[in-house]
Amino acid sequence: MMLVRPGINKCISGFGGRALTKETKKCFSLNSCHFKVSACPVYGEDHREIQNTLKKIIDQDINPHVDQWEADGAFPAKEVFKKLGNAGLLGITKPTEYGGSALDFSYSVAANEQLGAVHCGAVPMAIAVQTDMSTPALARVGNDRLKREFLAPSIAGDLVSCLGVSEPGAGSDVASIKTRAERKGDDLIINGQKMWITNGCQADWICLLANTSAGPPHRSKSLMCVPMDTKGITIAKRIDKMGMRSSDTAQIFFEDVRVPADSIIGEEGMGFTYQMQQFQEERMAGIALSLAPMDLIINQTIEYARQRQAFGRSILDNQVVHFTLAELQTEVELLRSLLYRAVESYVAGQDVTELVSMGKLKSGRLVREVSDKCLQFWGGMGFTNEVLVSRMYRDLRLLSIGAGADEVMLGIICKFMGTLPAPAR
């Protein structure tokens, strides 16, 4: 049911599957923020070209369907990924011999910033799983067979991938995962389970972290490519979530799953280290994805508060409202600057763990603040499912939990600051 109140249809009309007005299109446009992407010191013409290509796909093939996908609780990953693959958007940083463009990581960040213009968090997250979470280690250190079988078709958009790190008993504490992959002749036999796996129900293969020896926790794990149709894999359940509604999130069981031993990505026993490296790209992607939604909901809130009247003047004319929105936009720009600084250092080959952890912490906190404070200025409308701000309030809450919770980021920052107490004996 559509809620109609005089004057508000301009700001909600693009969200419930209804026609976009010119003004609303402006509200949703990445270019409508005060600090245009062109202001970024690390982006040039080629970065903007990628963003323009992606924008066309988002406008034509993604945003018009998002409301339906959210209502269905799923989106057609294969269809969407094929379109992105055809446009060369799934292998921006990947080697050319496997169909990628071999560009540096700043191009991937530019794409992720643009992906934030999708009208939900779920679809960008699913795409980022494919580009920045399940494939970086494979592209960097995987063998030729794995790259041909899993990387090249993932870049082309013919396969959907997922990343299997978390388990029911181990999320923040990655070192304590229990899934095992034991050698038997030339094969590995996998037993265990994974939890919260994004794309899990639709994926063709999983980049799996499992214990391959009984050694010290940081040396006992390997990453491996496992086809999801291998005998012994069961999707136990599709998890019902408060947000990211159109993303499928699975619990997956592995029972005597047999794969060739050369399915291990890179060196056996190095999986924990590769995953920690992979996390840096995942976290930068996450920060980049968070920026446009914050711009969008701040802009929409300005539009809504400008035309909504209370006590003889517009809501926006109350100083607490326009000052709050100015504070929020300032924070978004600070986060954007931190991201660009981290990306520049990363591309230059520096260790960015501390800066990326700070950015991940800040983005998790800021999306909560922006979506909560903006939602407040929409009054009752903010509490409905008719407006983007309420969807983002639910979807973006994940940022403080996934890919390392806020407290995990604080722990890493404290380690760099030399303030983390030694583990109790």
Looking at 22-30, 112-120, 193-201, 228-236, which segment touches ligand FAD (CB under 6 A)? 193-201
Helix (H) or strand (E) segment spanning residue 233: strand 233-238
Give me the amino acid identity at 411: G
Residue 237: both structure tokens together: 């359940």
Task: Give phi and psi for 170, each to the nearest 5.
Answer: -155, 105
Position among 37, 225, 226, 398 found at the interface with ligand FAD (CB under 6 A): 398
How many angstroms separate the CA atoms of 403 and 172, rounded? 8
Contact flag: residue 190 with ligand FAD (CB under 6 A): no
Other Cβ atoms within 10 Å of 29 Cβ, number: 16
> Residue 221: which H helix or E strand, with range?
strand 221-227
> Do residues 414 and 420 make contact, with C-beta atoms less than 8 angstroms apart?
yes
Q: What is the DSSP string of 315-369?
A: GGGSHHHHHHHHHHHHHHHHHHHHHHHHHHHHHTT---HHHHHHHHHHHHHHHHH
Kindly name the residue from 70, 282, 303, 386 that is annotated as catalytic.
Answer: 282
Phi–psi pair at 77, nearest 5 degrees: -60, -40
Please report how close the Cβ of residue 50 comes to ligand FAD at its closest, in angstroms: 24
Q: Which of 197, 206, 339, 389 touches ligand FAD (CB under 6 A)?
A: 197
Distance separating alpha carbons of residues 196 and 125, to the nearest angstrom? 13
Active site includes 70? no
Nearer to ligand FAD among residue 163 and residue 321 (C-beta): 163
Binding mask 90-129 for ligand FAD (x = CB under 6 A): ---------------------------------------x
Question: Is 248 in a helix, a strand, or coil?
Answer: coil
How near is the Cβ of 208 to ligand FAD at its closest, in Å? 9
d(C-alpha 217, C-alpha 214), whole Å: 8
* Phi, psi angle pair for 178, to nearest 5°: -110, -20
Which one of 160-168, 176-184, 273-281, 358-366 is the stretch in contact with ligand FAD (CB under 6 A)?
A: 160-168
- Cβ pair 206, 196 in contact under 8 A: no
Residue nearest to ligand FAD (CB): 171
Nearest approach, Cβ of residue 163 and ligand FAD (Å): 5
Regarding 164 and contact with ligand FAD (CB under 6 A), the answer is yes
Contact stretch for ligand FAD (CB under 6 A) within 11-19, 69-77, 84-92, 401-409 = 401-409
CB 194 to ligand FAD: min, Å: 7
Nearer to ligand FAD, 28 or 393 (CB): 393
Near ligand FAD by CB under 6 A: residue from 196, 272, 304, 393:
196
What x-and-dash track marks residues 248-267 binding ligand FAD by CB under 6 A?
Answer: -x------------------
Q: Among residues 95, 232, 260, 411, which is the contact residue for ligand FAD, using CB under 6 A?
A: 411
User: Alpha-carbon distance 205 to 154, whole Å?
Assistant: 9
Task: Summarize as ranges the residues that interact with ligand FAD (CB under 6 A).
Answer: 129, 162-166, 171-172, 196-198, 241, 244, 249, 398, 401-403, 405, 407-408, 411
> Which positions are annotated as active-site residues?
282
